[in-house]
Amino acid sequence: MGVAIITFLVFGFLLGVRHAFDSDHIAAMSTLIAKTKSLKKSTLLGILWGFGHTISLFIIGSLILLFKITIPEKIALSFELLAGIMLVILGFNIIFTLNKNKIHIHKHSHGNKEHHHFHSHKFNKNHSHEHLQASKSLLIGSVHGLAGSAALALLVLTTVNSTLMGLFYIIIFGVGSMLGMTLITASISLPIILLENKLNNFDRLIKLAAATFSLLIGALFIYNIGIQLL
């Protein structure tokens, strides 16, 4: 493998890491991280975001590279508009559910010993909260992948002549975005976890901050893209 190809792929990886740090990505993931009390789970959400992001990019990129098509500007803007709408929905979802915790007591037996603990079914009644968060993270990543597919495909098409190399570049870019989002989720969730038990109402404040950030970024996206579509 030539030096030029290696440099090209390393650039794609680093660009993927940088891409994860876009404000709309951080805003969307912060709405999920605010609900997670575990560094391990937060990190997993970041990986799932990157995986969903890569899937969308790879599907769109494959179609473009194989069939030599271009994404019309209005469709590309519509993808970005969808990402903005998603951010607004995520923000409102936190605000709507913030005071909807359904807390009750669970009793467990371990041999002859019994103990109780409080459990929240904030989202449903069948303990599928973690699965729901994972699915949301995957979906969010997929939507963001669609929103960025046009720009990435244009970059690849104008840089490489080989379809196989282009697809490989997209995968490398996706791996970089997975690493980037993993770093983001870990760096955001760690101070939240450390400070949660030290400050009163800290959990509520974090959720409100995440909701506000998501709403503001989403509204800004919708406004800017709406102007271009009109």
**Could you tell me the two tokens for 169?**
């570049």
Q: Please say whether the beta carbons of 91 and 85 come within 8 A.
A: no
Residue 110 lies in a domain: no
pLDDT digits (tens, 9 = 90+) for 96-154: 887 665 444 445 555 555 554 444 544 444 445 677 888 889 999 999 988 887 777 76
Residue 67 lies in a domain: yes
Q: What share of the chain is helix, strand, coil (3-state, %, to 5)?
A: 75, 5, 20
Residue 120 lies in a domain: no
Residue 40 lies in a domain: yes
Measured CA distances, 86 to 66, 105, 117, 144, 147 (Å) = 30, 34, 35, 10, 11
Residue 113 lies in a domain: no
Tell me the pTM. 0.80
**Could you tell me the two tokens for 48?**
């799932």
Residue 3 lies in a domain: no
- In this predicted structure, the answer to whether residue 226 has a pLDDT above a threshold of 70 is yes
pLDDT digits (tens, 9 = 90+) for 149-198: 777 776 776 677 788 888 888 899 999 999 999 999 988 888 877 776 66
- The pLDDT, as a whole number, for residue 123 is 43
Mean pLDDT of 74-81: 88
- The pLDDT, as a whole number, for residue 129 is 64
Domain carrying residue 199? 8-97+128-229
- The pLDDT, as a whole number, for residue 86 is 95
pLDDT > 70: what percent of the chain?
Answer: 81
Residue 170 lies in a domain: yes
- The pLDDT, as a whole number, for residue 132 is 83
Residue 115 lies in a domain: no
CA pseudo-torsion sign 11, 13, 14, 16: positive
Total domain count, the chain: 1
